[in-house]
């Protein structure tokens, strides 16, 4: 990290968040205030000041989509953990349905180190019956390289019970992006989750909407969904500024290279565990952890503005991240 890029953490115990600043400017905040049933990074802002995350449901903005209230900021969870849905949980779940959904509860900040740009936290993946299934130790390393802001997230899941992650399309590292980063579409769409709940994503005015996916193996646009790639970039032009978000996988992760749950309406996710769904039954993972076992997921997120972030630059970052 260049010496000119100084990371600082500002703890706000009242609002239950930690602001992450680079050279005094907000990059993101680690938010654990309970408004979402999981900790999130929100908002996420480029060096040039463009916000890449959707506002809804946390802080709604005009003219944006209001579907999928569980899509909030940048997060990490999964749709089937011992049969419980951690992914789709939100304030919108009716009281009589809440027994199907798990929550991730922030426990403590273990480390906040400005010198190294490291924030380390502990959280618990908890069932609606108050059974603790997983302890998560998440380390975020924040940095900046030129016009690219970087988040390296390492999440170690320690099994407190026998835990199964049945193959499910809903997961794992994910961001819901601002309207301008969506892919333009003039058709409404209907999506059904594992619980059978139907969500309609309406057609909206596409003015200023020109996002596109670019994947490491050469695919673009909607063709990226359900394919394996080392990394995927979501890129757009926002008010004359080339803005992109890139998620980079790690060779040490279960299921590498990951499948991608990347939708045109702004959900951008890497999911290594949903193999049976994405392969249409050709592959089955059914990942499990016995009580006392652990696994670690490593992801790098590049938040870029300015000139186009080239494939060569991303490949170089991938190699550095995978040393």
The 3 state secondary structure assigned to the chain is CCCCCCEEEEEECCCCEEEEEECCEEEEEEECCCCCCCCEEEEEECCCCCECECCCCCCCCCCCCCCCCCCCCEEEEECCECCEECCCCCCCCCHHHHHHECEEEEEEEEEEECCCCEEEEEEEEECCCCCEEEEEEEEEEEEEECCEEEEEEEEEEEECCCEEECCCCCEEEEEEECHHHCCCCCCCEEEECCCCCEEEECCCCCCCCCCEEEECCCCEHHHHCCCECCEEEEEEEECCEEEEEEEECCCCCCCCCCEEEECCCCEEEEECCCHHHHCCCCCCCCEEECCCCEEEEEEEEEEEEECCCCHHHHHHHHHHHCC
Mean pLDDT, rounded, of the chain: 95
How would you write 21-88 as a 3-class SS string? Answer: EECCEEEEEEECCCCCCCCEEEEEECCCCCECECCCCCCCCCCCCCCCCCCCCEEEEECCECCEECCC
Cα-Cα-Cα-Cα dihedral sign, residues 30, 160, 126, 275: positive
What is the rounded CA–CA span in Å between residue 52 and residue 179? 9
- Residues composing the chain: 323
> Residue 1: which pLDDT band, with cuts at 50, 70 and 90?
very low
Does residue 317 register a pLDDT over 90?
Answer: yes
Residues 6 or more apart from 50 whose CB is under 8 A from it? 238, 239, 241, 243, 305
What is the rounded CA–CA span in Å between residue 127 and residue 12? 28
Query: Max CA-CA distance within the chain?
Result: 53
What is the rounded CA–CA span in Å between residue 323 and residue 289? 26
What is the rounded CA–CA span in Å between residue 233 and residue 212? 8
Contact 73, 58 (CB under 8 A): yes
Domain ranges of the chain: 46-321
* Two structure tokens written together for 114: 């400005």
Range of lowest pLDDT (52-66, 96-110, 161-175, 288-302): 52-66
Does residue 51 register a pLDDT over 80?
Answer: yes
Check residue 207 and give its pLDDT: 86
Kindly report, residue by residue over 236-274, the tens digit of the pLDDT: 999 999 999 999 999 999 999 999 999 999 999 999 999
* Percent with pLDDT over 70 in the chain: 96
Does residue 66 register a pLDDT over 90?
Answer: no
Check residue 193 and give its pLDDT: 61
Kindly report, residue by residue over 151-193, the tens digit of the pLDDT: 999 999 999 999 999 999 999 999 999 999 999 987 776 655 6
* Two structure tokens written together for 28: 């993101």
């Amino acid at each position: 990290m260049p010496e000119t890029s100084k990371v600082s953490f500002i703890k706000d115990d009242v609002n239950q968040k930690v602001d992450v600043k680079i050279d005094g400017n907000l990059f993101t905040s680690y938010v654990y205030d309970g408004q979402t049933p999981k900790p999130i990074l929100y908002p996420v802002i480029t060096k040039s000041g463009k916000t890449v995350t959707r506002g809804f449901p946390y802080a709604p903005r005009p003219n944006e989509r209001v579907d999928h209230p569980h899509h909030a900021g940048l997060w990490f969870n999964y749709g089937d953990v011992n049969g419980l849905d951690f992914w789709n949980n939100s304030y919108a779940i009716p009281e009589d349905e809440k027994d199907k959904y798990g929550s991730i509860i922030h426990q403590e900040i273990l480390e906040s180190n400005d010198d190294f740009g490291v924030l380390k936290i502990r959280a618990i993946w908890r069932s609606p019956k108050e059974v603790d299934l997983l302890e998560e130790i998440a380390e975020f390393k924040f940095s900046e390289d030129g016009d690219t802001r970087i988040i390296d997230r390492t999440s170690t899941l320690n099994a407190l019970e026998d835990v199964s992650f049945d193959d499910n399309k809903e997961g794992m590292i994910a961001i819901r992006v601002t309207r301008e980063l969506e892919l333009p579409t003039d058709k409404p769409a209907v999506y059904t989750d594992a619980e059978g709940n139907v969500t309609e994503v309406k057609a909206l005015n596409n003015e200023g909407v020109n996002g596109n996916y670019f994947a490491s193996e050469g695919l673009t646009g909607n063709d990226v969904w359900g394919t394996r790639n080392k990394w995927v970039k979501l890129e757009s032009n926002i008010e004359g500024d080339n803005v992109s978000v890139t998620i980079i996988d790690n060779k040490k992760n279960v299921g590498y290279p990951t499948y991608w749950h990347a939708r045109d309406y702004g959900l951008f996710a890497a999911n290594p565990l949903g193999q049976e769904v994405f392969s249409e039954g050709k592959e089955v993972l059914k990942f499990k952890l016995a009580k006392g076992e652990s696994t670690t997921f490593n992801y790098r997120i590049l938040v870029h503005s300015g000139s186009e972030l080239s494939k060569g630059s991303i490949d170089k970052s991938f190699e550095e991240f995978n040393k």
